[in-house]
Amino acid sequence: MLAQTIATPEVPWSLLWPFLLMALGAVVLVTLTSLVPSLRTRGFAAFYTATMAVGSVVSLYWIWNRVQDEGGRIVVLDGALSLDYFFLFTAGTISLAVFFAALLLDDFLRREGLDGPEWYVLIMLSAAGGLMMAAAEDLIVTFLGLEILSISVYVLAALHLRRRDSQEAGFKYFVLGALSSAFFLYGIALIYGATGSTRLSEIDAALFISNARGLTPAEDSSLLLAGMALLIVGFGFKVSAAPFHMWTPDVYQGAPTPITGFMASAVKVGAFAGFTRVFLAAFGRLGNDWRPVIGAMALLSIVIGSFLAIKQDNVKRMLAYSSISHAGFILIGLHSAGSIDAAVSALGSRSVLFYLFAYTFMVVGTFGVATLVGRHGDGAHGLADYAGLSSRQPILAGLLVVLLFAQAGIPFTSGFWAKFGVIEAAVRGESYVLAGAAMVAAVVGAYLYLRIIVSMYLTQPAVEADDVAGPGPIIMAPAATMAIFFAVAATLLWGVLPDVGGDVLRDAATSFLR
């Protein structure tokens, strides 16, 4: 008998460099540090990870040209991944977040006596999951990316073995994350039952076509609505949007501070990328069904995040609630992106992407400062620990002021244009309630950031000198300081010149327009 040939999809390796550098790069790092134990320290793992991140960003330029030559989109691996402008933009943002995380971790791990490659391996694997979510053209691939993204971060949150709060944070994150994954997987099953496919393009094509029983999924099937609702629950947890935000304050407070910065940047970008792709590519024509739910989540997020943040005395918990509020702003942009008006949809997509890009720099820089102020033991995160910071470390305090002003949306920072774009999209789409709530939340949020600034400049510490028996003095570690300077420079650059790279952003924002 002649052996049957099994058809396998062609693998265009030259178009998969971002995935290869993160996923295979992690495997290579484990192998190298196992064969050469001396490489486990001396900053090799941090340098290696930062190099992989830079290589990933550089590779995107070549892939962008290829995508441009092919008309804006290349589908690879038998339709499992879609390489388009949207993916390339979000992949660049995730890779930059990995670069910053490597710089922050290097000094942190040496200070805590935890130096080792496992942290960097998990960061690269998590980033690979985020890249997969950003490119996924199939709900199953989205789920795989979501799990790769999440499982690595569960471990990272609990990896500070000398702090009980770290293990508690990892356990809480794991339990609630597993629950949200179950919702997400059940949602995929219902979508498949309603449309007969998990491929995004096929789901979109099947929405208004009668099936064998004469039923039209978009009009006759409650399975479709239930499936979309469960997907929203799964994504809502990952982006820490209300009412699925319960884990965020405890996990942000307990996790190692550089990991919290990675969660607030790369993890959030990857989750929002998957959220946006699924609902615009597969359910874009059903915007009237899911937009009210997204709008309600956005409203809850900005109200809960802004008002509960001002009640906190721990800076990491403040930033956790602030992250919930920022998720609400991004959801307003996604709400606008689902509009049937092409102009409003493009503006909404653009506001989502610019917000994610700007927020990555703002939040990484802010948690970079928190990493230094936390000092040995990573426990000095109370508002009192920031008292008098302007006199002890004036440069660090000044950098933090810029980053906090950006998160508050002060003009001449990227945060101003991010919030302005979201509100403009809401107004153009006649979502005046969301626009008004966003403006009120921005004012309330400004009070939160002013509390930290007042503590740094107008409050004297309990003791004039650092307590030698306590966490010790604040040391401006070189790698972390460089990361903070980069973040501040980017925040100011896109605050003064918001249209830098505007063509790239506009191309990415129109990826899902019909």
Residue of 511 and 269 predicted with greater confidence? 269
Strand stretches in 296-386, DSSP E? none
**Entry field: residues in the chain:** 514
Identify the domain containing residue 206 by its residue range.
Answer: 14-509
Residue of 91 and 219 predicted with greater confidence? 91
Identify the pLDDT of residue 493.
95
pLDDT confidence band for 5 (50 / 70 / 90): low
Say if residue 270's pLDDT is above 70. Answer: yes
Under 8 Å between Cβ of 240 and 325: no
Identify the pLDDT of residue 23.
94
Say if residue 102's pLDDT is above 60. Answer: yes
437: left (phi over 0), alpha (psi -120 to 50) or beta: alpha
Say if residue 325's pLDDT is above 70. Answer: yes
Is residue 374 one of the residues assigned to a domain? yes
pLDDT tens-digit profile of 157-167?
A: 998 878 888 88
Domains identified in the chain, total number? 1
Is residue 5 one of the residues assigned to a domain? no
Cα 276 vs. chain centroid, distance in angstroms?
Answer: 12
- Measured distance CA(380)–CA(372) in Å, rounded: 9
Is residue 3 one of the residues assigned to a domain? no
Identify the pLDDT of residue 1.
46
Region 174-195: mean pLDDT is 92
Is residue 4 one of the residues assigned to a domain? no
**465 DSSP assignment:** S
Identify the pLDDT of residue 467.
47
Is residue 236 one of the residues assigned to a domain? yes
pLDDT confidence band for 213 (50 / 70 / 90): low
Whether this model's pTM surpasses 0.85? yes
Is residue 6 one of the residues assigned to a domain? no
The dihedrals phi and psi of 113, each to the nearest 5 degrees, come to: 70, 35
Residue type for position 268: K
pLDDT tens-digit profile of 247-267?
A: 999 999 999 999 999 999 999
Is residue 21 one of the residues assigned to a domain? yes
Percent of residues, the chain, with pLDDT higher than 90:
68
Identify the pLDDT of residue 239.
94
Is residue 231 one of the residues assigned to a domain? yes
Region 226-245: mean pLDDT is 94
Identify the pLDDT of residue 514.
53
- Measured distance CA(428)–CA(331) in Å, rounded: 16
What angle (nearest 5°) sits at the alpha carbon of residue 53, between those of residues 15 and 139? 55
Say if residue 469's pLDDT is above 50. Answer: no
- Mean pLDDT computed over every residue of the chain: 90
- Measured distance CA(310)–CA(451) in Å, rounded: 8
Region 401-422: mean pLDDT is 94
Say if residue 466's pLDDT is above 50. Answer: no
> What number of CA atoms fall less than 13 Å from residue 452's CA on the CB side?
31
pLDDT confidence band for 211 (50 / 70 / 90): low
> What number of CA atoms fall less than 13 Å from residue 52's CA on the CB side?
30
Identify the pLDDT of residue 4.
63
